[in-house]
């Protein structure tokens, strides 16, 4: 078990669990709208006070402008543009009344809201969504439902010479209107109004009811967070524990423990982890096997070098013939070690290359014919007579260079053990191509049949060229990478050993 570093310990102390995050996130989803409504309601309340203050200031300013103007003159069209401009500037609905309370002038209701033209357009478009199909509350419709101007108390107070104001709430509580009536010096009064929509404010008025609902929903959200945590976090923790156990003792892990058997994305993740663990476990076993095979193969040459060096070191005098024999033994042992290491490196490079090689369409019969032609022209194999029975050419997807190497390794092995003949057969079944290579040599003993495909295993005759013991292992690796297999048959066309390669006709998987 590896000791944890200070940084990893600090990270584990500061880490917040996923289950806790889910619960907190669920609660935030419930409480955030309430906080938004609460704060927006407070802001809207402040805007109400500001609106009242601004309307009061506008009333004072307008009364000052009209202090020397006869009230009846305000009914003339020459005053209308100036009054409309004032109403637009101060965002008010402006009306002028004479001494008896009769209406002399009135601006449109559009100025009574503090919205730009673009904002009003957006507000109108959003109205159907927030207020229903009838749209937002309308001041004009609300005014029609109110008593006549002359009967309103604030106007009566202004006509009596005293300014008065009043908040009115309409449209089922969705709209507040601030009215301010200011007396004029020459008689009559100006009547100003500004609208305040109460979409958020109406919710703010219900804040305590919303709080009760929120507390109820918070409990449900907490339970939902626990349920989600149990449903999704618990299997992730199980995967985590299994993987950590694998890191501690890789050889003891059963990859099936990673499969959660779920039909969702977590199940897909568990199956991917199971597949990945199988690959890692297989590679670990292969690595251990390679190390064991290499250690076994190098044991004898290393012992030879050690023994020879001890003899040379301990002998006071040594005759030239014995010295040459000892030097040859060390040289042969070193050459054997070099061949083994280079062969192992080549096998590793081959496996990596096969994993990324793009397979092309080829004809295996053509490859076999080319290789047979090259062997028939090679002086080293001129004593061998090849018997070839090649069926019709069948397309196959594969890596030509690697397949060529596989076939050559099988031919080299047959030539090394044969008396004088090698038979090559290529046939096709509905699912696969079958290539068999047999010789008329002594065959394979029962004790060696299970060792043939092990790395560094060799039992070549003394007069045959020394090999690395990797030829058949490389050939099997290439066959496996093409989705096929290489095996030793019990009987072939000739009396000796017979090796059979089976390659699928469908597209292989690396």
Q: Kindly state the percentage of the chain with pLDDT values over 90.
A: 9
Q: Following DSSP, what letter does each residue of 193-262 receive, concatenated? A: EEEEE-HHHHHHHTHHHHHHHHHHHHHHHHHHHHHHIIIIIHHHHHHHHHHHHHHH-GGG--GGGG----
Which of the residue ranges 324-333, 361-370, 428-437 would you say has the lowest mean pLDDT? Answer: 324-333
CA distance 498 to 414: 9
Task: Please give the pLDDT value at position 429.
Answer: 86
Which of the residue ranges 72-86, 157-171, 174-188, 388-402 would you say has the lowest mean pLDDT? Answer: 388-402
Quote the pTM value. Answer: 0.46
| Residue 388 near residue 498, CB atoms below 8 Å | no
Residue 501 pLDDT grade (very low, low, confident, very high; cuts 50, 70, 90): very high
Task: Please give the pLDDT value at position 464.
Answer: 54
Name which residue leads in pLDDT, 45 or 66. Answer: 66
Task: Please give the pLDDT value at position 9.
Answer: 44
CA distance 431 to 502: 10
Task: Please give the pLDDT value at position 164.
Answer: 94
Task: Please give the pLDDT value at position 473.
Answer: 83
Q: Kindly state the percentage of the chain with pLDDT values over 70.
A: 74
What average pLDDT does the structure give for the chain? 76
Residue 118 pLDDT grade (very low, low, confident, very high; cuts 50, 70, 90): very low
Give the tokens for residue 248.
């501690």
Stretch (H or E) spanning 288: helix 265-314
Domains of the chain: 14-208 (3.30.450.20), 358-510 (3.30.565.10)
Task: Please give the pLDDT value at position 5.
Answer: 44
Name which residue leads in pLDDT, 87 or 220. Answer: 87
pLDDT in tens, 433-450: 899 999 988 888 777 777
pLDDT in tens, 242-273: 778 777 776 666 777 777 777 777 778 878 88
pLDDT in tens, 370-390: 999 998 888 888 788 888 888
Q: What is the mean pLDDT of residues 428-433?
A: 86
């Amino acid at each position: 078990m590896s000791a944890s570093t200070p940084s990893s310990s600090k990270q584990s102390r500061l880490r917040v669990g996923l289950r806790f995050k889910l619960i907190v996130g669920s609660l935030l989803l419930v409480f955030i709208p309430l906080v938004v409504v609460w704060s927006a309601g407070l802001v809207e309340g402040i805007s109400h006070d500001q609106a009242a203050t601004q309307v009061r200031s506008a009333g004072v300013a307008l009364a000052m402008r009209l202090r020397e103007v006869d009230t009846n003159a305000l009914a003339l069209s020459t005053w209308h543009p100036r009054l409309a401009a004032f109403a637009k500037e101060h965002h008010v609905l402006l009306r002028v009344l004479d001494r008896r309370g009769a209406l002399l002038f009135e601006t449109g209701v559009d100025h009574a809201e503090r919205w730009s033209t673009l904002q009003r357009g957006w507000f109108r478009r959003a109205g159907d969504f927030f207020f229903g199909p009838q749209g937002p509350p309308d001041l004009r419709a609300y005014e029609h439902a109110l008593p006549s101007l002359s009967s309103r108390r604030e106007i009566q107070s202004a006509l009596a010479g005293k300014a008065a104001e009043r908040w009115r709430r309409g449209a089922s509580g969705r709209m507040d209107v601030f009215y301010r009536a200011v007396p004029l010096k020459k008689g009559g009064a100006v009547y100003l109004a500004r609208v305040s929509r109460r979409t958020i404010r109406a919710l703010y008025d219900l804040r305590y009811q919303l709080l009760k609902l929120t507390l109820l929903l918070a409990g449900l959200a907490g339970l939902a967070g626990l349920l989600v945590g149990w449903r999704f976090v618990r299997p992730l923790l199980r995967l985590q524990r299994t993987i950590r156990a694998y890191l501690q003792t890789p050889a003891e892990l059963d990859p099936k423990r990673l499969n959660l058997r779920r039909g969702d994305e977590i199940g897909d993740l568990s199956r991917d982890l199971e597949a990945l663990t199988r690959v890692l476990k297989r590679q670990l076993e292969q690595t251990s096997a390679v190390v064991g095979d290499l250690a076994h193969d190098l044991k004898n040459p290393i012992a030879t070098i050690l023994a020879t060096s001890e003899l040379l070191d301990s002998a006071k005098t040594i005759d030239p013939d014995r010295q040459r024999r000892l030097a040859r033994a060390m040289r042969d042992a070193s050459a054997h070690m070099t061949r083994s290491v280079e062969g192992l490196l080549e096998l590793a490079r081959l496996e990596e290359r096969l994993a990324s090689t793009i397979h092309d369409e080829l004809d295996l019969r053509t490859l076999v014919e080319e290789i047979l032609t090259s062997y028939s022209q090679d002086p080293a194999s001129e004593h061998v007579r090849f018997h070839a029975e090649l069926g019709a050419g069948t397309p196959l997807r594969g890596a030509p260079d690697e397949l060529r190497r596989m076939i050559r390794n099988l031919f080299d092995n047959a030539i090394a053990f044969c008396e004088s003949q090698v038979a090559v057969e290529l046939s096709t079944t509905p699912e696969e191509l079958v290539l068999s290579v047999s010789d008329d040599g002594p065959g394979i003993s029962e004790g060696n049949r299970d060792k043939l495909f092990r790395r560094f295993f060799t039992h070549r005759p003394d007069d045959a060229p020394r090999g690395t013991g990797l030829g058949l292992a490389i050939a099997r690796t290439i066959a496996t990478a093409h989705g096929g297999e290489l095996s030793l048959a019990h009987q072939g066309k000739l009396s000796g050993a017979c090796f059979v390669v089976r390659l699928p006709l469908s597209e292989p998987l690396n």
